[in-house]
Amino acid sequence: MTDESAKDKMAGKAKEAMGKMAGNRRMEAEGQADQAKGKAKGAMGDAKERAEGVKDSLSGDDKD
């Protein structure tokens, strides 16, 4: 997980909580969207790392 994805998820949780406390459904939904964005960024980063690992293992560039 990248720092950016974690930051998005944390900010989203905070925004969602503030929206709930204020009774602001739009802010709450924006917080949930920010969390989803963070999760997607994390998944893309993980997939990229896995793909690079597969590429390295196929080319014999293993750095063990």
**H or E element, residue 48:** helix 25-59
User: For residue 63, is it within any domain?
Assistant: no
User: For residue 26, is it within any domain?
Assistant: yes
pLDDT in tens, 12-64: 999 999 999 999 999 999 999 999 999 999 999 888 888 888 888 888 765 55
Number of domains in the chain: 1
CB 63 within 8 Å of CB 56? yes
Tell me which residue range forms the domain holding 46.
3-56
* Six-digit token string for 15: 């925004």
pLDDT (0 to 100) of residue 24: 97
Residue whose token pair is 């949930």:
32
CB 35 within 8 Å of CB 16? yes
pLDDT (0 to 100) of residue 64: 54
pTM, to two decimals = 0.73
